[in-house]
Structure 1
Amino acid sequence: MDKNEDIIKRIQNNYTQLSKSQKIIAEYIINHYDKAAFMTAAKLGNSINISESTVVRFANTLGYDGYPELQSALQELIKNKLTTVQRLEMTDETDEVSILNNVLKSDIENIKETKEEIDKNSFKEVVDNIFKAKKIYIIGFRSSTAIAEYLGFYLNLILENVILVKPGISDVFEQMLRVDSNDLVIGIGFPRYSKRTLEVLKYAKSQNAKIVAITDSLISPLTEIADEILLAKSNMASFVDSLVAPLSLINALIVSVGIREKDKITDTFEKLENIWNEYEIYLSKNA
């Protein structure tokens, strides 16, 4: 059974094989997947008068290792379907300390899962491709803009062929006009996925550029276009998405590129320190 298959499609494909109780669970999930995604097995069972053990067996019947895996699949499904208002309404906590603890705990888990699941060979390949490319284009819009600009800022300090594509006087397609097969395009996209990011990556692909997708899941639309995929977990924290793990992945990418260019960037940073001191870019140590 395909682990990346949409859970709703999986339920529909297996519906005739389900028991009477399991069909009740299936119908509830299909009709209320936005609520079910954040229910424990016990809570889901109580809401439809079904035992917790039946809910767990339902998950196993669909091919999941347990209920938590089914729940994760539901959360992946809704990431790009819920509006910001719907996300806000799902937040039960009002106590600030509880919110603080829950968000920090979620971010820690995102980094742990990213560390365990990321494809190390793909990571190495992306670093190699960065050095092989004639030009490196970085694309990330909406909430992913902050990550794209962060990556662009540091890669520009290390390399001389980095172009951060962003809306401005010239359209993003005009900035990509000369992209070709010698270039690398790094597309960054997390829920809710930007349509424009996808359009630009499709254009770059049509020009035979090599595409790297930095995204959250194999069912992300960016993966369909990419030659290399780097996944970083980005589970929802109420109406915002956690970008902690993606940023940590970007940090690892920057450090890996920088270490390969250690001698070169030592000279670069020495020159920069002189400029920063001369023009008082940062607060002085004696201030």
Structure 2
Amino acid sequence: MNLNQRISGYGRKLTKSEQRLIDELQTRYPQGLLESATSLAKKVGTSASTVVRLLAKLGYPSYAEAQIEARSEVTARLSSPATRADAVIADDASVRSCLANALLHDQHNLASTFAALDVAAFEGAVRLLTQRKARVHVTGQRHAAALAGHLSLHLNMCLPDVRPMSGGGPLLMEDQLLWIGENDVLLALTFRRHALATARAAKYFKEKGAKVIVITDGPSVAAAASADHVMLARTSSASPFDSYTAAFSLCNALVTAVVQRRRKELGAALERGDALWEQHWNDSAAQAGRSRRKPSSAA
């Protein structure tokens, strides 16, 4: 429920100062809420404590919580960091307030993401990832690349056939789509600004009878139209740049659920992994020893 909805549902009588504040906030919402309580109070000739009390009456736990909502509205309306910068950067923000605001936004993103999560979609995604003969392809471009790498690394320890998909390297995205069929599952991560390649890959998987799971920041993104299951993560931030803390947490939850369903296979896989790493380090140490013993050539 945003500010305007709270005001519409507030049935009590307002004082003159409170009415002036309401008028100012509605006229300049959401940007008006990004100012400090002191600055906002000066604009309408009242006190900062009156501002804080009014927002408390409207149901906000704190002024900071109201500002989180305002920033969320701003970032939802403005698509790029350049257009968001002036709206979300305060002139008088201290370094400590930046620290506190970042934490508050991430806490808000986490709580909102998990409260609104489609649990049926989450369960369906886990079933698809762990089904017999599934080949799991993980893709994420630009901002989603770090998330895709995180998922690829950890799902590879749980599942026998995990394949990272990217637009770089010797194989372009189109080359990696060559053998897609009914046993394939695409796990696609896409966030503003959404990569066209991800949407094209999702559409192609769907056309070939494969399954598609999408983790994104909004239900209307192009890739979601091809998805069997969609999971949404909030990305609101105190800065012009989106925060992916909630998305990472959702990915961690997905890995945890896959681990639970593959716990028997995981134990054996981790033992093989440890043996491979031990051999790798032994070979590296032996190679380093040979290099040190090699006589230097005469000048």
TM-score normalised over the length of structure 2:
0.68
Deviation at 1:170? 1.4
Label 1:172 to 1:38 Cα distance change in 2 as closer, same or farther (>3 A): farther
In the alignment, which residue of structure 1 is the partner of 2:95?
96
In the alignment, which residue of structure 1 is the partner of 2:122?
123
Q: Distance in 1 between matches of 2:273 and 2:135?
A: 23
In the alignment, which residue of structure 1 is the partner of 2:211?
210
Contact 1:144/1:188, CA 8 A, preserved across alignment: yes
Structure 1, gaps ≥5 residues long: 4-23, 57-66, 282-287
Are positions 1:192 and 2:193 aligned together?
A: yes
In the alignment, which residue of structure 1 is the partner of 2:15?
none
Q: Distance in 1 between matches of 2:81 and 2:67?
A: 24
Contact 1:137/1:163, CA 8 A, preserved across alignment: yes
Deviation at 1:280? 3.8
Deviation at 1:102? 0.7
Contact 2:217/2:235, CA 8 A, preserved across alignment: yes
Label 1:253 to 1:236 Cα distance change in 2 as closer, same or farther (>3 A): same
Which deviates more, 167-176 or 89-98?
A: 89-98
- Residue 82 of structure 1, aligned match among 66, 80, 83: 80
Residue identity in the other structure for 2:89: T
Deviation at 1:249? 0.6
SS of residue paired to 1:219: coil
Residue identity in the other structure for 2:144: S
In the alignment, which residue of structure 2 is the partner of 1:148?
148
Percent identity of paired positions between Structure 1 and Structure 2: 23
Deviation at 1:236? 2.9
Alignment of 1:181-260 (within 5 A): 181-260=182-261
SS of residue paired to 1:235: coil
In the alignment, which residue of structure 2 is the partner of 1:138?
138
SS of residue paired to 2:156: helix
In the alignment, which residue of structure 2 is the partner of 1:160?
160
Contact 2:71/2:88, CA 8 A, preserved across alignment: no
Q: Distance in 1 between matches of 2:69 and 2:96?
A: 29
Contact 1:154/1:254, CA 8 A, preserved across alignment: yes
Are positions 1:110 and 2:102 aligned together?
A: no
In the alignment, which residue of structure 1 is the partner of 2:262?
261
Residue identity in the other structure for 1:244: T
Label 1:167 to 1:265 Cα distance change in 2 as closer, same or farther (>3 A): same
Segments of 4+ moved more than 4 angstroms: 24-29, 35-48, 67-73
Label 1:165 to 1:106 Cα distance change in 2 as closer, same or farther (>3 A): same
Residue identity in the other structure for 1:106: H
Q: Distance in 1 between matches of 2:262 and 2:113?
A: 26
Label 1:91 to 1:69 Cα distance change in 2 as closer, same or farther (>3 A): closer
Contact 1:37/1:75, CA 8 A, preserved across alignment: no
Residue identity in the other structure for 2:197: R
SS of residue paired to 1:211: strand
Label 1:271 to 1:208 Cα distance change in 2 as closer, same or farther (>3 A): closer
Q: How many residues align?
A: 245
Contact 1:88/1:238, CA 8 A, preserved across alignment: no
Residue identity in the other structure for 1:87: A
Label 1:188 to 1:46 Cα distance change in 2 as closer, same or farther (>3 A): farther
Label 1:139 to 1:41 Cα distance change in 2 as closer, same or farther (>3 A): farther
- Superposed CA deviations along residues 99-138 of structure 1, whole A, max 9, x for unmatched, are 1111111111111111211011111111011123631111
Alignment of 1:13-24 (within 5 A): none
Label 1:95 to 1:124 Cα distance change in 2 as closer, same or farther (>3 A): same
Q: Distance in 2 between matches of 1:71 and 1:94?
A: 16
